[in-house]
Amino acid sequence: MKLQDIDVAVIGAGPAGMAAAIRAREAGAENVIIMERAEELGGLLHQCVHNGFGLLYFNEDLTGPEYGNRFIEKVMDTGVKPLLETMVVKLTEDRQIGAVNAKEGFITFRPKSVVLAMGCRERSRGALNIPGSRPSGVLTAGTAQRFVNVEGFLPGKRIVILGSGDIGMIMARRLTLEGAKVEAVVEILPYIGGLIRNEVQCLHDFDIPLYLQHTVTQIHGEERVTAVTIAKVDADRNPVPGTQRKIQCDSLLLSAGLIPENELSLMAGIRLDPVTGGAVVDETRQTNIAGVFAGGNVLHVHDLVDNVSWESELAGESAAKFAMERDLGEKGTINLKAGTNIRYIVPQTISGQRDTTLYMRVNEPQENVRIKIGDIMTKTVRAVKPSEMIKIELSSEKLQKVNKETKEIIVSCEKRGGK
Amino acid sequence: MAKKETFICIGCPLGCEVTLTIDEKGKILGFAGNKCKEGEKYVFEEYTNPVRILTATVLTQNSAQPLLAVRTSKPILKTMLAQGAAVLARTKVKPPVRVGDIIVPNLLDTGVDVVASANLSS
Amino acid sequence: MSQIKTEVLIIGGGIGGAAIARELSKYKVDATLVEKGPDVGQGITKCSSTIMCQGSNVLEFRSEYHNSRLVWAGMTMMEPLCKELDIPLKRIGSLELIKNQEEMRHPEKMMRRFKEYKGKYIPDEVEPLQFIDRDTLRSWEPNVNKSYLGALYDPNIAVNDPVRLTIALADNARKNGIKVLLDTEVMSISKGTDEFEVCTNNGSIKCRYIINAAGEYVGKIAQMADADDFALYPVKSYQAVLDKKLGGIINHMVLSNENGMVAPTIHGNLFFGISPGTQRLGKAHDHSTDKKLADAALKNAQELVPGISERDITNSFVGFIVFRNFEIGWHECTVGVSRWVPRFINASIGFPGICAAPAVAKEMIDILRNQGLQLTENPDFDPYEKSMPDFSELSDEEKRQIIAKDPKYGHVVCRCETVTEGEIVEAIKRGARTLDGVKFRCRPGMGRCQGGFCGPRVTKILARELGISEEEVTKKGGESRNLLYKSKELLEAQQ
């Protein structure tokens, strides 16, 4: 395959990139490449040795590597060309890609379309601005996961975890099963950041204490962490004086949020949504730059990998179509606006002419609610939580109700049975 | 004397706290707190037969990869997770291994095998 | 335990010690620098703001102070020094913002004082201060709070990377014949009639002259030789580095009279900080950040530049200023021979120390001569260093060339800062032995994810290049190992 003949270039070979590349091939794109900085396909799935993957997509309870392997095999079967150990360092607004690898050096080319699938990164200690000294032994849960599950090392044996994101809770279980003692999981909010099944199966199963509405107020230790101080927080998330207590530990793991990785998107001038941290897209997952699409965690942080795969397939399919037809027709002209208790909606704009899958998250947990998509449709839901995405399918028939002049549709989540 | 035990249902984001009432012989007398039938089913399973899939790693020999990801092919009793992990701490594998290959047959007499959940090349 | 002999012993591998070592290397002299840590520039040098050439910034202080004189002298030396050592230095200029009519008198006063001191204390090359009005301020800095009435503009202020400068100074000193001993901590000093015997964790060192450049430990070292009484007066400042995406929004260092400031770094980030003036804060040697100072700094920074958000902070740290003898005034340098012990010379640099370092080093030569040291020029002195390649700054064509020469440059390890394996290997070749050592030489882990992604990879490369196991790799030497156990080790211990 010559570089100048590439139809679809997918950046990133995690679950999003693999699903997008496979679907792009299946949708008819001839030359599809997938560019990955690591030495193998699969992204973070290799280090996610726990199960819970594919319950929706495959109807099976798979581990991360198992889920990844199914896609890796399909990448090979469908004739997608992987370009491994290759880092994309440049993306321009006219879709010019610059990448480096040891074999070919610095390469530049312009594919007919691009899918952004760079995933996300974890919020670091610096980003969390945790007071205290600067010893070793403070690391993000995902970094710890790589050390424990891939590299063969344990960061320590007495662990405190700040944040109750899924990776943090899963690492609490992993480290316990590796013989470490997890002293506490500390969450600043009144509810956990991850899925309920992880609270039950990772924390309760192993009697790991969970401190809600608490935070780490100080890190101790000059060279290595020796302890952390935790304290209760008030409604404004400020520490309550007199509630501090010191917990001896040798490691502090951070699991307090993920940020879509949009270095390249910014370089290309792609418009980002300040709430999701990812690109603003329409229902084809096309960004404001024609022929550049995005899917998975680079677009918004997902709850389940199954949703990452589905969404990225959509981006891959659109990218293939764009590569072949140079145009996708109707653009997103109707803005979806977050109303009551909605934090964000992806896509941010829709054309109203095609079947559309909406993903959204709420601000606050709520029971017995009605999700209203303007006056197009209403869906009743028993419970919503910020940690779990809501997925709503809008058929093109339903969308016919939308008036041609409509500029904005408000999406809201309201209590059922009156205000 | 009837006993009470509480569970958090993981069936949906609601996360109902379900309280189970059990008589002295361990017989279930009733459920409270669940908002749907699924909750009762989940809690019944969690009380009578709480099982989990054990996922872990084993050390490798003769491979650039220091660890291989493994899992139990079926769920095992959750009370056996730690014991299972201890067995896997003593297990070493050599390449080649394919996803699904049996690493430890019949783990702790549970009748469940530990299988590779990733490939291992030399 | 080894025993070595040296003529001059420099204690401390911060910017001061390194600058002195490099200055001494211009002469034929047997000199040794000892540093207790595994790398140079990792004490208070690391915590300093990256602002240079703050000469006119200290106009407020009395001109006869040692400190002001050294800072003024140092500021004109900084640019040529950085050129020789191939360290980037960028003149950004500072804007001291004027909030209300009352503050309007301040620029006038400073400009008058500047004129008065020019040629006398302030070197001729220093550019004059200017007042700029509201419209000019807005056109220069459209993202600064619109309510300010104008600013006092100091075109001399520059930024660079003090740790890299320190490393380059030490490298250049070593190249020109100075011995540099790392991981060597001074435990005690005994005085003979003609020489000192300095006991370290790595053996003893006999020397005739001691230069005490131990930074925040200057008092401790002086005490070992009964050479001086230093009142350690720690003052904490707080600095936070912001995400690169905010890089271009501010071009100058902007500051208010509430001690808050926002400025670009040499690496294209933005940073903000606060120093609480002369208020004593924190325990000695306590480098921990605290929430109160962090909150105040953020509030100040947002007042100056409303576009700054807490969400964009990627890292924060404490700056640490050590004062001596605060009764006579603040920001005091102590550069000179001990009052009680001949041939024991203190080189404690006050704020803004980085800028004064080259002048302190020059002055040290005179002091040593006065103390009887014979110094003749080193004819082989080579003033130049070549800084290591910065892959992210190369053009497309240069990237092609460097990868063709060494394929390790085609392997990007840190994605936030685009750092390649080639650079990391080069940094280790040049002396990095810890994660921080690599980080301060070529920046992996300095970006948005703070090493979350590249940390395990840099650990691997360090272990491979140094021929040690990954568990032995430390963040900053000592007990700062990153990985305490091997997989299954804890489970086996329990069985």
pLDDT value, residue C113:
85
Do residue C8 and residue C86 come from a single domain? yes
Give me the percent of chain C exceeding a pLDDT of 70: 91
Do residue C88 and residue C36 come from a single domain? yes
Q: How many domains does chain C have?
A: 2
End-of-domain residue from the set C363, C387, C411? C387
Token pair in block for residue C284: 């000695």
Q: What is the pLDDT of residues C181-198, one digit of tens each?
A: 999 999 999 999 899 999
Do residue C380 and residue C397 come from a single domain? no
Q: What is the pLDDT of residues C110-123, one digit of tens each?
A: 888 888 888 777 88
Do residue B59 and residue B97 come from a single domain? yes
Q: A223 and A136 in contact (C-beta within 8 Å)?
A: yes
| C-contacting residues in A 151-190 (Cβ below 8 Å) | 151-157, 178-180
Q: Name the phi and psi angles at C48, rounded to 5.
A: -75, 155
Do residue C81 and residue C218 come from a single domain? yes
Which CATH superfamily includes the segment(s) A124-256?
FAD/NAD(P)-binding domain (3.50.50.60)
On the CB side of C164, CA atoms within 13 Å amount to: 27
What does the pLDDT average to over C403-414? 94
Q: Exposed e or buried b for every residue in B74-107, given b needs 16+ CB within 10 A? A: ebbbbebbeebbbbbbebebebebebebebbeeb
Neighbour-count burial of A46, counting CB atoms closer than 10 A to its CB (0-12 exposed, 13-18 middle, 19+ buried): buried
Do residue C165 and residue C198 come from a single domain? yes
pLDDT value, residue C330:
47
The type of residue at C371 is: Q
What does the pLDDT average to over B44-57? 95
Higher pLDDT, C72 or C321: C72
pLDDT of C280 strictly over 70: no
C-beta atoms of B8 and A66 within 8 A: no
Q: What is the pLDDT of residues A21-59, one digit of tens each?
A: 999 999 999 999 999 999 999 999 999 999 999 999 999
CATH of the domain at C86: 3.50.50.60
pLDDT of C278 strictly over 80: no
Chain B residue with the nearest C-alpha to that of C490: B89
Residue C152 in any domain: the answer is no
pLDDT value, residue C331:
46
Do residue C190 and residue C87 come from a single domain? yes
CA distances, A248 to each of A239, B59, B70, C63, C398 (Å) = 19, 30, 32, 51, 50
Q: Please give the DSSP secondary-structure letter assigned to residue C127.
A: P
CATH of the domain at B31: 2.20.25
pLDDT of C264 strictly over 90: yes
| Omega within 30 of 0 (cis) for the link into B105 | no
Q: Which residues of A touch C493 (CB under 8 A)?
A: 179
Q: Please calculate the CA angle C444-C447-C452 and round it to the nearest 5 degrees.
A: 70
Residue C44: partners with Cβ closer than 8 Å, 6 or more residues away: C14, C215, C216, C319, C320, C321, C322, C353
What does the pLDDT average to over A359-363? 96
C-beta atoms of C485 and A147 within 8 A: no
pLDDT value, residue C187:
97
Token pair in block for residue C420: 């390649």
CB atoms within 10 A of CB A376: 16
Do residue C457 and residue C344 come from a single domain? no
Class level of CATH domain A1-120+259-329: alpha beta
Q: Exposed e or buried b for every residue in C410-441, given b needs 16+ CB within 10 A? A: bbbbbbbbbbbbbbbbbbbebbbbbbbbbbbb
pLDDT of C345 strictly over 70: yes
Q: What is the pLDDT of residues A329-354, one digit of tens each?
A: 888 889 999 999 999 999 999 998 89
pLDDT value, residue C63:
52
Calculate how close chain A gets to C167, using CA atoms only, in Å.
21
Q: How many domains does chain B have?
A: 2
Q: How confident is residue C48, by pLDDT bands cut at 50, 70 and 90?
A: confident
Residue B18: partners with Cβ closer than 8 Å, 6 or more residues away: B6, B7, B8, B9, B31, B32, B33, B34, B39, B40, B42, B43
pLDDT value, residue A335:
95
Structural domain range at position B83: 55-116
Q: Which residues of C touch B68 (CB under 8 A)?
A: none
pLDDT value, residue A419:
46
- Nearest CA to B7 out of B24, B22, B20 is that of B20
Residue B32 in any domain: the answer is yes
Q: Where are the domains of chain A?
A: 1-120+259-329, 124-256, 331-419
Q: How far is Cα A284 from Cα C375, in angstroms, rounded to an integer?
A: 75
Q: How far is Cα C392 from Cα C387, in angstroms, rounded to an integer?
A: 14
Residue C276 in any domain: the answer is no
Give the mean pLDDT of chain C: 88
Higher pLDDT, C279 or A242: A242
Given CB atoms, is C494 within the 8 Å cutoff of chain B? Answer: yes
Q: A104 and A1 in contact (C-beta within 8 Å)?
A: no
Do residue C59 and residue C179 come from a single domain? yes
Do residue C432 and residue C351 come from a single domain? no
Question: Is there a common fold for A1-120+259-329 and A124-256?
Answer: yes
Q: What is the pLDDT of residues A151-207, one digit of tens each?
A: 999 999 999 999 999 999 999 999 999 999 999 999 999 999 999 999 999 999 999
**Least confidently predicted of A200-204, C20-24, C98-102, C318-322:** C318-322
Residue B122 in any domain: the answer is no
Do residue C213 and residue C328 come from a single domain? yes
pLDDT of C327 strictly over 60: no
pLDDT of B47 strictly over 70: yes
pLDDT of C323 strictly over 80: no
Q: What is the pLDDT of residues A106-162, one digit of tens each?
A: 999 999 999 999 999 998 877 677 888 889 999 999 999 999 999 999 999 999 999
SS3 of residue C33 by DSSP = strand
Determine if the pTM surpasses 0.90.
yes
Neighbours of chain B (3+ CB pairs under 8 A): A, C
What is the DSSP track for C209-268? EEEE--GGGHHHHHHHTT------EEEEEEEEEE-GGGGGG--SEEE-TTSEEEEE-TTS
What does the pLDDT average to over A208-212? 97
**ipTM for the whole complex:** 0.94
pLDDT value, residue C292:
83
Structural domain range at position C412: 393-472
Q: C138 and C146 in contact (C-beta within 8 Å)?
A: yes
Do residue C349 and residue C424 come from a single domain? no
Chain C residue with the nearest C-alpha to that of A141: C452
Q: How far is Cα B105 from Cα B113, in angstroms, rounded to an integer?
A: 4
Q: How far is Cα C358 from Cα C73, in angstroms, rounded to an integer?
A: 8
pLDDT value, residue A117:
98
Q: C342 and C322 in contact (C-beta within 8 Å)?
A: no
Given CB atoms, is C487 within the 8 Å cutoff of chain B? Answer: yes
